[in-house]
């Protein structure tokens, strides 16, 4: 049972880290990246559909994103959804594809994005700490139910802390890489 706490905790923390990385990939870094628009939803015959499920998203140049809907009649809907999103980029529609030109980031925008990335990193670390609390609660409950001894509880709590420290370090690395990417663009 106690092995399951660590194993399930590791799996949960890995999913959390993956979600954090995906969340960061949606922060605009001055380069065109399909992940910036693929989750934007638009009205596809009455159903809210992510763009990635109805169009091909390509990056022909470093600062240009091209969205080509599989159903040309949905061009206007996709364009409207991109405009309504918080990307801050005006799409151009030529009747066949939507082009999203990404402007060069100025220093102020870079600094604001770096602050946003740092904030997301802190939020992610709070999530990891919450998972630590939940795992420790399970260990204490196992001790209370006489499934483990006090020494086993202490050892498990140390293992949990090591696991949490490992994932906080990974979150810090991912955050630093994203900040570096923002400063070099």
User: Tokens representing 175?
Assistant: 């955050």
What pLDDT is attached to residue 1? 59
Q: Domain extents for the chain?
A: 2-26+106-184, 34-101
What pLDDT is attached to residue 59? 86
User: Tokens representing 6?
Assistant: 């660590």
Q: What is the mean pLDDT of residues 128-149?
A: 90
Pick from 78, 116, 80: which is nearest to 97 by CA?
Answer: 78
Residue 35 CB partners (closer than 8 Å, separation 6+) = 22, 25, 26
Q: Is-same-fold flag (2-26+106-184; 34-101)?
A: no
Please name the residue that has the structure tokens 């998972």. 131
pLDDT digits (tens, 9 = 90+) for 145-180: 888 888 888 999 999 999 999 999 999 999 988 888
Please state the pTM of the whole predicted model: 0.68
Separation CA 122–CA 117 (nearest Å): 9
Write the CATH number of the domain with boundaries 2-26+106-184.
1.10.132.20
CATH topology for the 34-101 domain? Gyrase A; domain 2 (3.30.1360)
């Amino acid at each position: 049972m106690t092995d399951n706490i660590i194993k399930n905790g590791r799996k949960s923390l890995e999913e959390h880290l993956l979600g954090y990385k995906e969340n960061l990939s949606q922060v605009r870094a001055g380069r065109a990246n399909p992940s910036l628009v693929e989750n934007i939803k638009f009205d596809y015959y009455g159903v809210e559909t992510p763009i990635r499920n109805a169009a091909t998203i390509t990056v022909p140049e470093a600062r240009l994103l091209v969205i080509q809907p599989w159903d040309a009649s949905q061009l206007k809907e996709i364009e409207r959804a991109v405009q309504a999103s918080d990307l801050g980029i005006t799409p151009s529609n030529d009747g066949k594809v939507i082009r999203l030109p990404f402007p060069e980031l100025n220093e102020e925008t870079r600094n604001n994005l770096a602050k946003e990335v740092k904030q997301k990193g802190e939020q992610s670390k709070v999530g990891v700490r919450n998972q630590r609390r939940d795992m420790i609660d399970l260990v204490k409950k196992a001790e209370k139910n006489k499934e483990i001894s006090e020494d086993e509880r202490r050892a498990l709590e140390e293992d949990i802390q090591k696991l949490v420290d490992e994932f906080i370090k990974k979150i810090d690395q991912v955050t630093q890489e994203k900040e570096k990417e923002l400063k070099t663009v």
